[in-house]
Amino acid sequence: MAAPLDMEARPVKPGLHRHLYVQVLTAIAAGALLGHFFPSVGESLKPLGDGFIKLVKMIIAPVIFLTVVTGIAGTKDLDKVGRIALKAFAYFLTFSTAALIIGLIVANLVRPGDGMHIDPKTLDPGAVSLYASKAHHQSLVGFLLGIIPVTVVSAFAEGEILQVLFVSILFGVALALVGDRGRPVLELLGSLSAAFFRLVAILMKAAPIGAFGAFAFTIGKYGLGSIANLAALVATFYVTSALFVLVVLGGVARFNGFSILALLRYLKAELFLVLGTSSSEAALPSLMEKLERAGCSKQIVGLVVPTGYSFNLDGTNIYMTLAALFIAQATDTHLSLGSQLLLLLVAMLSSKGAAGVTGAGFITLAATLSVVPTVPVAGIALILGIDRFMSECRALTNVIGNAVATIVVANWEGGFDRERFASALRGQPLPVPLPAQEP
The pLDDT of residue 402 is: 93
Angle between helices 207-222 and 268-277 (to 10 degrees): 40
The pLDDT of residue 12 is: 47
Closest CA to 71 of 286, 256, 296, 290: 296
Spell out the domains of the chain, with CATH numbers in brackets: 19-425 (1.10.3860.10)
The pLDDT of residue 2 is: 44
Which residues in the chain come in under a pLDDT of 70? 1-18, 76-77, 120-143, 224-229, 349-363, 367, 370-373, 384-385, 428-439
Q: Is-contact 435 74, C-beta < 8 A?
A: yes
CA 3 to chain centre: 49
The pLDDT of residue 246 is: 95
- What type of residue is 57? K
- Which tens digits make up the pLDDT trace of 180-231? 888 888 889 888 888 888 888 888 888 889 888 888 887 887 776 656 657 7
The model's pTM is 0.77
Angle between helices 387-413 and 314-330 (to 10 degrees): 140
